A and B are shown apart, each in its own frame.
Chain A
Amino acid sequence: MNDMPMVRFENVSKRYGALTVLDNLNLDIGRGEKVSIIGPSGSGKTTVLRMLMTLEAINDGVLWVDGEPMTHMMQNGKLVPATTKHMRRIRAKIGMVFQSFNLFPHMTAMGNCIEAPITVLGMKRSEAEERAAELLDMVGLSAKKDHYPSQLSGGQQQRVAIARALAMRPKIMLFDEVTSALDPELVGEVLQVIRKIGREHDLTMLMVTHQMGFAKEFSDRVCFFYQGKICEQGAPAEIFGNPKNERTRQFLNAVLEAG
């Protein structure tokens, strides 16, 4: 089972009515690999993460996580659509951070980080708080643990959201344009936290980003999406230094020009 990649998209398609968002996607993400997804808006890149988090159902294909099918399950040697129970068991391995933070506004930073460990994992409160305190310390927010999200800056909220996701001990972390809603001066603090967890945790990381500098320096591989397909992928040095595809080149030029 361990020779299977951490995530495998096998002929996965996603359609909204007549609109094909992802067209027959095949993509493997290795264990511990850090992959950045870039591309113009509407290219389907966020959909890739949302399908993996089970926020969107897929129309075709199979999604594999950690050697097991997630969207399907084995029954008498055949793949059948997964039950909610099966999906939840596999989904436990995945954590996600959103563009708009989505912290629970009626709970403090600490409350956000212990909610799911207690209700979902059945952890004792003291144990969950201890772990959450460590994580909030790691994201540099020990002093803010009793603050409500409305009392925190965007950058601080996003760092709490990262701590909250890590509190569930995922094997895979998804980052969906996590700095896009932030004021420019707050982007750095969030990226720094992501760098840190990349170093300190043995996580497979998949991120959709517009921060080309960060993608270049942080990821093992960059995938350029265009119109629902992977147009080009490779090592960051290659994609950013010497893109083969005309579309990639156009996109990078446009992005770099915008600064």
Chain B
Amino acid sequence: MWIRMLAVMLAATLLLIALLSANPEYRLFMPGLLEGAVLTVEITLLGAVLAVFMALVAALAKLYGPLPIRWLSTTYIEIFRGTSALVQLFWLYFVLPQFGVFLDAFLVAVLALGLNIGAYGAEVVRGAIISVARGQWEAAIALNMSKAQMLRRIILPQAFTAMIPPWGNLFIELVKSTSLVSLITLADLTFKAQQMNQSTLKTVPVFTLVLLLYLAISLTVTIGMRLLEQRASKGLTRARVA
């Protein structure tokens, strides 16, 4: 039912974009904005992959690693959660070259945003793992599983379901923080909008379209996560209470 509502919202947003584009005042900006939107989506997708990977590694390291690894993981999480994403972008893009390390702007965008969201995600993953009922660990011990087998086959699949909604939040956060990359020369949706606004001063059409385009991207992410949640919660809906 939620999904249907979200789908209607997405359809309405797209329809609105289409209707506005019928007006030449608006249509003028669409090709450039869509170009920017493609870059925004690319950074979001790659950043999300990196974020999920980092979150999983950092959470497992923090929970089950030997002490030095736990320290390392905690340090990563606190640095990337505790400083601004914008500063992280600037640091990788403008400070690292001072030490002779030159990274491509696109790579910096994916790295900084992926590591930033991954640090938040690590706590999501950790929380989901420890929220799995203790009885599940005990049953796995009684079946003589090794720790790795328990995690892989019993605990993580259940934690996975619990972490989908918070990941949905983080991915949307990620979509929005991609607008920061316009400040390190990347021509994303926000960059294109500012550029067009400055050159034409058509503030209303430009920023209305940009708003709707971001909304369309976010709604797509939300719908995707809801579908994933539905699939993953098979069998888990009632048992979680017990």
Contacts and interface: CB of A to CB of B under 8 A. Distances in A.
Given A54-B141, A88-B144, A150 B237 contact: yes
Interface of B: 133, 135-136, 138-139, 141-146, 149, 153-154, 157-158, 161, 234-240, 242
Given A54-B141, A119-B145, A105 B158 contact: yes
B129 to A, nearest CB: 14
A105 B145 contact: no
Interface centre among A105, A120, A151 (most CB of B within 10 A): A105
Nearest to B149: A119
Contacts of B146: 88, 120
Given A105-B236, A150-B239, A120 B136 contact: no
Given A116-B145, A168-B143, A106 B138 contact: no
Contacts of B133: 102
A148 interface: yes
Contact of B144 (A101, A102, A120, A161): A120
B143 A164 contact: yes
Contact of B142 (A105, A119, A148, A165): A165
A115 B135 contact: no
Contacts of B157: 106
Given A150-B236, A168-B144, 19 more contacts: A53-B138, A91-B144, A96-B142, A98-B135, A102-B133, A102-B135, A102-B138, A102-B139, A104-B139, A105-B158, A105-B240, A106-B157, A115-B143, A115-B154, A119-B149, A120-B143, A148-B235, A148-B239, A150-B239
Nearest to B236: A105
16 contacts: A53-B141, A55-B138, A55-B142, A88-B146, A91-B141, A100-B242, A103-B239, A105-B158, A105-B239, A106-B158, A106-B236, A108-B235, A115-B143, A116-B143, A149-B235, A149-B239
Contact of A103 (B139, B141, B153, B237): B139
A105 B143 contact: no
Nearest to A154: B242
A106 B240 CA distance: 10
Interface of A: 53-55, 88, 91-92, 94-96, 98, 100-108, 115-116, 119-120, 148-151, 161, 164-165, 168
A120 B235 contact: no
Contact of A119 (B141, B153, B237, B242): B153
A186 to B, nearest CB: 14
A151 B242 CA distance: 13
Contacts of A98: 135, 138-139, 142
B242 to A, nearest CB: 7
A148 B141 contact: no
Contacts of B234: 106, 148
A105 B235 contact: yes
A179 B139 CA distance: 17
A105 B139 CA distance: 12
B158 to A, nearest CB: 6
B157 to A, nearest CB: 5
A106 B157 CA distance: 7
B136 A104 contact: yes
Contacts of B161: 106
Nearest to A119: B149
B239 A100 contact: no
| Complex A-B, nearest 8 residue pairs according to Cβ-Cβ distance, in ascending order | A148-B235, A105-B239, A116-B143, A102-B139, A150-B238, A102-B135, A96-B142, A150-B239
